[in-house]
Chains A and B, each alone.
Chain A
């Protein structure tokens, strides 16, 4: 008997029309009710059409099952669900478990066991994909865990912990920044390397001149996956900081394509446009945070193809995603001291030297940990608002007197007034207006990602383990459950056997939540 036996046909009919033409609202490899790629769908809105759990019944949510990922540590991973099976990936390892019971179906472990940060996998063409610590990329049969292909990474470097991503018929992976980050595409059927895009320009690239000085240590780590726009035939991705991270005088210029949002043709690997959030960064503010959220909606009275991005540097950016042009932006935090605003082109206007790191330490707001970071943002077409994790407070950035390029670090500011405090914020992306704000008690930074649902819910777990469901319109807490461990991963939701599940990693476990049988009436609406 197949695992798909109880898949709900009604749901397919409900959401099928969006598949008719190329659109960002195409869910990609996810069938309705599934979550088969890291952000759930191509547009990275992390907005689910599922409506079984509502603001009216969310108080009935209960734990459905818990799966312990033995040997893991502080999971930053987002599980994916396809054909009734949940896939949990780490470097060298994938656990396939029954998404309705939490029972193990198969487990793949290539030695050695690794606890390095790894963010998940994608399911496509009956395969799941995982990077290895010995610089291979492996495709496993989604049904058995058997190795379908196993290739050495082109260039020989280990892939980053970014979740392998499926865009159209390409498998997209990334490499970290030492010396330079790059994005690669492989054929998911065979493992054949198709193209590599380098985040640090080669001499023939016009932006090569955006670096000067006597060192070029590169940067531009690719450590988070992005989005796919089928109409532009482009992946839209964030890149990491330039190196050395804090000693910027050895690399004059804007240091492209570090800290940038880039659109890359998925077939050729050629750059279509770029937008740099933090030119000449000196605080390690990777442009990888909060997803690259694609939205088609009206802006100033016109239907526009938009990109929304809340950045680690504290600014929110609204871009035209057909060309990367800046439309508007705003600071989304109250505590900012490095810049006073954005120019009409979206370039930060520095305050003085932009809080340059120093030997005695420079107060920097937001901190290097970021005004927001990798935990996912979500856009709800129901409210028209963007929701994200925001961190107020400051850091102190140090540099060493030993070597200009090395010996730098940061700490949380010891001043009580600049202590790190996390918030969940709802913002109107068209105006920057803060619609509501929830302070997370006892939090400090990073924290979990968010997702929204068509029924008006915001799944917003707390950093210290309180899984919580909020009313997306008001921020009011409707339900909560203490998982007992740190949460620093992003959540998913899926539908199986007539029950809507919410799932998130907490500590070394995967928790799932759903309504009790009495409330789901075996597939019926509550």
Chain B
């Protein structure tokens, strides 16, 4: 408490003489809106809309790549302020005020956030019952080892996706989840869990959900829960259907209360990883 008071005093009395402390993003919807305006003006040309990578620079909102996603808010803002030597990233501290940079930080924070940051309201316990019961979700998905391996595992879904992305997956026939690189995709894009039907040369018919493929082979999870890998040369036919087996009318299959509570449950599935004290992954 004493330290805090001293720091506050110093900050009030000597703002110009203060050494560069780790800056934190501003907060509140107004800061996010201001930050978006500044971001759109100064950042999109290189980093793309909403930080998903643009024409000249990498994604800054990726969750998985340590070079990018593992940086804390303070680290990201230090980069905005000071630039990165040896790259095209300039020191914005020379052109923007600390307040502007804090607003940009607020916007980036909002982009990087996932469902777990602000889980949706409702009754998660009832949502869990819907998940395993009327919703039938466990026929394809698993949470903490319970359920099926055919579809994506949802144990950590709220730490990986925004609430809107989860809602889109449940209600929209066409929705797109970009990979870590956004437009520029430095890694393979996520598969869309297309359904696949193959007929082997020996006459065996197998249905499943795609995991990967190339021009010579394909890998899929059979609806029987077994992982299959075939050389295409060994198959008589392969039929892959876009769209997958996932129904996208849960807002109609379920009552309004059931859907709200399912979302309340799903947006709490995950483990929030705190930034390490040193803050980085390097």
Which residue of the partner chain, among B44, B67, B214, contacts A462 with CB atoms under 8 Å? B214
Q: Which residues of B are found within 8 Å of A442, using beta-carbon distances?
A: 188-189, 212-214
* Interface residue A321 (Cβ < 8 Å from any Cβ of B): no
With A441-B214, A444-B185, A466-B214 as contacts: A133 and B85 at CB distance below 8 Å: yes
Taking a contact as CB atoms under 8 Å apart, the answer to whether B37 and A402 are in contact is yes
Chain B residues in 8 Å Cβ range of A466: 214-216
Q: Is the CB of A462 within 8 A of B85?
A: no
Q: Once bound together, how far apart are the Cα atoms of A408 and B42, in whole Å? A: 10
Determine the main DSSP class of B at the interface with A.
loop
Closest residue of B by beta carbon distance from A468: B215
Q: How far is the CB of B131 from chain A (nearest CB, A)?
A: 27
Contact call A245/B216, Cβ cutoff below 8 A? no
In the complex, are the beta carbons of A409 and B44 less than 8 A apart? Answer: yes
Whether B85 and A441, one on each chain, are in contact in the complex, defined by CB atoms closer than 8 angstroms, is no
Q: Is A494 an interface residue (CB 8 A)?
A: no
Nearest neighbor of B52 in chain A, beta-carbon distance: A411
Q: Nearest residue in A to B216 (C-beta to C-beta)?
A: A480
Shortest CB-to-CB span from B184 to chain A, Å, is: 8
Most buried by B among A73, A408, A409, A480: A409
Q: Is A91 an interface residue (CB 8 A)?
A: yes
How distant is the Cα of A506 from the Cα of B48 in the complex, in angstroms?
25
B87 at the interface (CB under 8 A from A): yes
Contact flag A464-B49 (CB < 8 Å), given A406-B40, A416-B242, A486-B187: no
B45 at the interface (CB under 8 A from A): yes
Contact of B55 among A92, A284, A398 (CB under 8 A): A284
Pick the most buried of B42, B49, B213: most chain A CB atoms within 10 A of its CB. Answer: B49
A284 to B52, CA, bound (A): 18
Q: Is B19 an interface position by the 8 A CB rule? A: no
- The listed residue (A116, A402, A444, A446) touching B40 by CB distance below 8 A is A402
Do A444 and B189 contact each other (CB < 8 Å), given the known contacts A406-B40, A407-B40, A407-B41? yes
Answer whether residue A410 sits at the interface, using C-beta atoms and an 8 A cutoff: yes
Contacting B at CB under 8 A, from A413-472, are 414-416, 440-442, 444-446, 462, 464, 466, 468
Closest to A395 in B: B183
Chain A, range 311-327, C-beta contacts under 8 Å to B: none
Contact assessment for B215 and A114 in the assembled complex, using a CB-CB cutoff below 8 Å: no
Q: List the B residue with the shortest CB-CB distance to A401.
A: B40
Query: Is B186 part of the binding interface, using a Cβ–Cβ cutoff of 8 Å?
Result: yes
Whether B88 sits at the interface, judged by CB under 8 Å, is yes
Chain B residues with CB under 8 A of A445: 185
Quick check: is A150 within 8 A (CB to CB) of the other chain? no
Q: Which of B48, B67, B215 contacts A477 (CB 8 A)?
A: B215
A114–B87 CA distance with the chains assembled, in angstroms:
6
Contact B41–A406 (Cβ < 8 Å): yes
Given A406-B41, A408-B45, A411-B49: A91 and B86 within 8 A (CB)? yes
Residues 206-217 of chain B, each 1 if its beta carbon lies under 8 Å from chain A, else 0: 000000111110
- Given contacts A464-B188, A486-B187, are A414 and B174 in contact (CB under 8 A)? yes
Is A403 part of the binding interface, using a Cβ–Cβ cutoff of 8 Å? yes
Contact between A113 and B86 (Cβ–Cβ < 8 Å)?
A: yes
* In the complex, chain B residues 174-232 whose Cβ is within 8 Å of any chain A Cβ: 174-176, 182-189, 212-216
Is residue A146 contacting chain B, with contact meaning CB distance below 8 A? no
Q: Known: A369-B183, A414-B174. Contact between A115 and B52, CB under 8 A?
A: no
Q: Does A362 contact B (CB under 8 A)?
A: no
- List A contacts of B52 (CB < 8 A): 411
Interface residues of B in 94-111 (CB under 8 A from A): none
In contact, B174 and A400 (Cβ under 8 angstroms): no
In the assembled complex, which residues on chain B have CB atoms less than 8 Å from the CB atom of A416?
174, 242
| In contact, B45 and A402 (Cβ under 8 angstroms) | no
Q: Is the CB of B174 within 8 A of A74?
A: no
Bound Cα distance from A445 to B186, whole angstroms: 11
Q: Which residues of B contact A116 (CB under 8 A)?
A: 86-88
Q: A22 in the interface, Cβ–Cβ < 8 Å?
A: no
Tell me, yes or no, whether B54 is within 8 Å of chain A by CB: yes
**Cα distance A482–B87 in the bound complex, in angstroms:** 30
Q: Is A412 an interface residue (CB 8 A)?
A: yes
Cβ contacts B128-141/A at 8 Å (1 or 0 each):
00000000000000
The 8 nearest A-B residue pairs measured at CB? A407-B40, A114-B86, A112-B86, A409-B44, A400-B40, A409-B49, A406-B41, A133-B86
12 sample A-B contacts, Cβ–Cβ < 8 Å, listed by A number: A74-B186, A133-B85, A369-B183, A369-B184, A398-B49, A402-B40, A407-B45, A409-B54, A411-B52, A482-B214, A486-B186, A486-B188
